[in-house]
Amino acid sequence: MKNKVNMRELFLEMQQEMIMRLNLIRNQVKHAPTKGNAVELNWIEFLGTYLPNRYCVDTAFIVDNTGSCSDQIDLVIYDQQYSPFVFCHSGVKYIPAESVYAIFEIKQTLNKQHIIYAAEKAESVRNLERTSISIIHAGGTYPARPVFEIVAGIITTSSDWTSAFEMPFHEAMSALTSMQRLSIGCILETGSFLQNSDNVFEFSSKEESLIFFFIKLFIQLQNMGTVPAMDIDLYSRALDSI
């Protein structure tokens, strides 16, 4: 007889471990910036561990070939296969806009102010210029692929609202522009949400918030395929020699 693994149990244990780690930070770390950094690192480590190796996860600024730069983003999911350089200056990373799949703002709690803040971060990234060029391969040339909408979301441990996904949540989300749209989010102790392109929401149970978030995010990443091949020549024009 084949051994069987209780997958739901594994998922729930993973969630409980994450809650315990974040609660330890919340209860033991008193300095606000240090606490925020520790929470961000835990989420970066979690996604970096469980997402396939093709996806890189970091805190970074996003830049484009014109020199425009986004606000600092707490968590960026990106690909280096077709965007071969990531700038690192004094420990700060700058990632070309073409290589970005998804961005997240990480806060302790969910509320209207933090939704607006995350939405403004999303807008600062989506407003950047992204290039896309054809790819030469052994059998010919792949045409330049259209750029996709960068996934944007919010991650928190808890919610300031008694019921996280009632009227105040929907009012705050409906006030966002298309460039500010937050399509996915995780409120670890309450539940997670997914908003599709028609602005229809799906919500998880409290007990399955982390795994719902992870699976829905991974499906979105799969559906996006590969990032567009960037036009390195446009970036290189910042040099006097080129």
Higher pLDDT, 31 or 8: 8
Q: Which amino acid is at 189?
A: E
28 has a pLDDT exceeding 80? no
Instruction: Specify the pLDDT at position 143.
Output: 84
Backbone angles phi, psi at 95, to 5 degrees: -110, 130
**Pairing status of strand 184-187 against strand 151-159:** parallel
Share of the chain above pLDDT 70, in %: 95
Instruction: Specify the pLDDT at position 26.
Output: 75
Q: What is the overall mean pLDDT for the chain?
A: 89
Three-state DSSP string of 128-192: CCCCCCCEEECCEEECCCCCCCCEEEEEEEEECCCCCCCHHHHHHHHCCCHHHCCCEEEECCCEE
Integer Cα distance of 131 and 42 in angstroms: 32
Instruction: Specify the pLDDT at position 84.
Output: 66
Reported confidence tier of residue 140, pLDDT bands at 50, 70, 90:
confident
Mean pLDDT value across residues 148-170: 95
221 has a pLDDT exceeding 60? yes
* 80 CB burial (10 A radius; 0-12, 13-18, 19+): middle
Q: Which two tokens stand for residue 32?
A: 């606000």
Mean pLDDT value across residues 1-28: 80
| Angle ∠(122,128,129) on CA atoms, nearest 5 | 145
Instruction: Specify the pLDDT at position 1.
Output: 56
Instruction: Specify the pLDDT at position 101.
Output: 97
Q: What's the pTM? A: 0.90
Instruction: Specify the pLDDT at position 242.
Output: 56
Catalytic residue list: 74, 105, 107
Helices marked H in 127-231: 167-174, 209-224
Mean pLDDT value across residues 29-33: 71
Q: Which residue has the tokens 């609660």?
A: 23
Q: Which two tokens stand for residue 89?
A: 């200056």
Say if CB 36 and CB 47 are below 8 A apart.
no
Say if CB 191 and CB 204 are below 8 A apart.
yes
Q: Which two tokens stand for residue 18?
A: 């994450």
Q: Which two tokens stand for residue 210?
A: 């982390």
Return the half-sphere exposure (C-beta side, CA atoms, 13 A cut-off) of residue 163: 6
In the chain, where the domains are located: 9-131+145-232
The overall longest dimension of the chain from CA atoms, in Å, is 69
Mean pLDDT value across residues 142-154: 91
Backbone angles phi, psi at 96, to 5 degrees: -60, 140
Instruction: Specify the pLDDT at position 239.
Output: 63
Instruction: Specify the pLDDT at position 89.
Output: 79
34 has a pLDDT exceeding 80? no
Query: 3-class SS at 26?
Result: helix
179 has a pLDDT exceeding 70? yes
Backbone angles phi, psi at 97, to 5 degrees: -60, -30
Instruction: Specify the pLDDT at position 240.
Output: 60
Instruction: Specify the pLDDT at position 180.
Output: 97
The most confident of the ranges 39-53, 85-99, 151-165 is 151-165
